[in-house]
Amino acid sequence: MKIIFDECIDNVVNVLNKEKLFRYDCKIPEDSEVSCLENDFTKLTGFKYAVAMNSCSSAIFISLLCAGVRPGDKVMLPAFTFIAVPSSIIHANAVPVLVDVDDNYVIDMGSLAEVYEKENANFLLLSHMRGRVANMDELLIFCNTHDIKLVEDCAHSLGVLWNGRQAGYHGIAASFSMQSYKMLDGGEGGVLCTNDMDVAIKSMLYAGCYETNWSKHYLTEEGQKLANELVNQLPAYNFRMSNLTAAAIRPQLKQLEDRIQKYNNNYDCFINILDESPYIRIPQFTTGSRPASDTCQFQILTDNKEKIREIIQNLEAQGITLSVFGFSEKNARAFWRWGFCNFPEGKCNKTKNLLLNTADIRLRLAWDKREISRIANIIFETIDSVLSRRAPKVVSF
């Protein structure tokens, strides 16, 4: 399957020709590419409301404000996530509090209970990192029991289903990413989704809707009334998405399920090869979730840094980029390198030890099964040869 951007190009050119790149340079929502994207996105995901923004990070930050996070509040988050997630908490002048993940890279419920009891934190920013969803039924019971307000980071989770529904519906709001390495490519961009009208209107205003521009959103009469009451009562951060970005994203929405099907087929092919190695551990997806696997994570079963270095270098020599989260000094997913958070030494050692030898690779949509098999076999043979100290087989197709 080749990624076809012809329709995206036509749509972008059409918006350029209209000379109306600003989302509110219109009279009705039907004439705003961003408003149309928001409307289409609700139909795609099943949420009642969607607010498009310049990035998923902005959406996460605003979702925290809508959840009631105030300066000094403690916000729990899984220790396996991207640097933008704790940064959003810092942006809200709150305090990030790490929780360990389990061997399948989702939040560890035992660790969550311990951290909550110790820190008395009333907010949880739950990252479905790399599209891996925890047991949401169990987690929701815990949050409801302890009155923990849940916000979901779905940057990697567009198309991931929990019990047949788009992931993200358990929390106050869910934030999705359209950055270039995600399911939909807008270069940058994010969408905040919610089923709560109050959260939707506040998000819209926080994102930079001013004066009577609420009339250029798809809102009910009740929503318009609330927006009109709240205008000028909240700070406007100007996180708006432009019509140009929305024009690049909208035509891709109808390709989503086809992309997911191909990604998942490629993932199955990829891990079936790697799973034959005694030196590789493949994590499992939580029962009840339907993944959308545009990446693959696996553990290289060695603590020897020099051998991991050799594996990475040997693969690079063969044109394959394999990231190991804990190996690079600059990796943005290694929480112990986030100097701005000042986490104490020894924090979340379980997760740190897991990430030290966890490999990560993007499964590009343009790869067909032959290419997926070729790359998987090269990785298999390289890891096997380095860790067993035998000569690698020559992989040819």
Our count of domains for the chain comes to 2
pLDDT by 10s per residue, the chain, length 397? 345 678 899 999 999 999 999 999 999 999 999 999 999 999 999 999 999 999 999 999 999 999 999 999 999 999 999 999 999 999 999 999 999 999 999 999 999 999 999 999 999 999 999 999 999 999 999 999 999 999 999 999 999 999 999 999 999 999 999 999 999 999 999 999 999 999 999 999 999 999 999 999 999 999 999 999 999 999 999 999 999 999 999 999 999 999 999 999 999 999 999 999 999 999 999 999 999 999 999 999 999 999 999 999 999 999 999 999 988 889 999 999 999 999 998 999 999 999 999 999 999 999 999 999 999 999 999 999 999 976 666 555 5
99 in the same domain as 188? yes
Q: Is residue 397, in this structure, part of any structural domain at all?
A: no
For 156-159, the CB contacts below 8 A with 24+ separation are 156/128, 156/129, 156/130, 156/131, 156/182, 156/295, 157/128, 157/131, 157/133, 157/292, 158/45, 158/182, 158/183, 158/184, 158/256, 158/292, 159/183, 159/256, 159/257, 159/259, 159/260, 159/292
User: Domain range for residue 284?
Assistant: 256-388
**287 and 163, same structural domain?**
no
Domain match, 300 and 243 both = no
**C-alpha to C-alpha distance for 185 and 250, rounded to whole angstroms:** 10
pTM of the model: 0.95
Does residue 393 sit within a domain?
no
Report if residue 394 sits inside a domain. Answer: no
